[in-house]
Amino acid sequence: MTIPKNTLRLILSIVAGIITAMLLSTVTHEILHLCGVFPPLRRPMFDTQLVIIALIYHSLYAIAGAFVTAKFAQNKARKAVFILGTKEAFMWILGTLLLWKHSPPWYNITKALLGIPLAILGGKIYSHFNNKRVKTKRAVSTS
């Protein structure tokens, strides 16, 4: 059984977005641990200021991951970004259940609620820059 090329591209674009966001988040989280900003690994983090820091960078990296997803998905960018956002929402809901004693529930619930909007925002940012690039390319070719 062969996977159609556009379906494979869709899947790979979503995987690329997931890897981008996870890699950036993991590196940032590790740096903050090593610098002593965050508590040691495997220790709960309930300090509101620290959780807000994590929420901010996770959100920024979710947008970056969606941007990467949209870039690779090209003509299926909207669909890919929506799937990515849905995956984010689902995983953070699961995180709420599994990490109940690791971080405040509001953190995971907020991330679940933001999953789809952040992914759509990343897709829109890609679309904006892509449209500018296409317009510039057209202007240059008609000159």
In a domain, 3, yes or no: no
pLDDT of residue 5: 87
Report yes or no on 64 lying in a domain: yes
- 2 located within any domain: no
- On whether residue 26 sits in a domain, the answer given is yes
Better-scored residue on pLDDT, 142 or 96: 96
- CA angle (73, 90, 79) in 5-degree steps: 20
Which tens digit of pLDDT belongs to each residue from 62-107?
A: 999 999 999 999 999 999 999 999 999 999 999 888 888 889 999 9
Amino acid at 113: L
3 pLDDT higher than 90: no
Give the Cα separation of 50 and 35 in Å (integer): 13
Tell whether 23 is covered by a domain. yes
What are the phi and psi torsion angles at 17 (to 5°)? -65, -40
| Mean pLDDT taken over the chain | 92
Buried b / exposed e along 55-79 (16+ C-beta atoms within 10 A): beebbbbbbbbbbbbbbbbeebbee
Is residue 78 situated within a structural domain?
yes
Higher pLDDT, 141 or 119: 119
pLDDT at 133 over 90: no
Domains identified in the chain, total number: 1
Q: pTM (2 decimals)?
A: 0.90
Between residues 4 and 79, which one has the greater pLDDT?
79
DSSP 39: P
Domain span at residue 127 reads: 8-38+47-135
pLDDT of residue 98: 87
Q: What is the pLDDT of residue 143?
A: 64
Give a yes or no: residue 142 inside a domain. Answer: no
Residue 123 has pLDDT above 90, yes or no: yes
- Which tops the pLDDT comparison, 4 or 35? 35
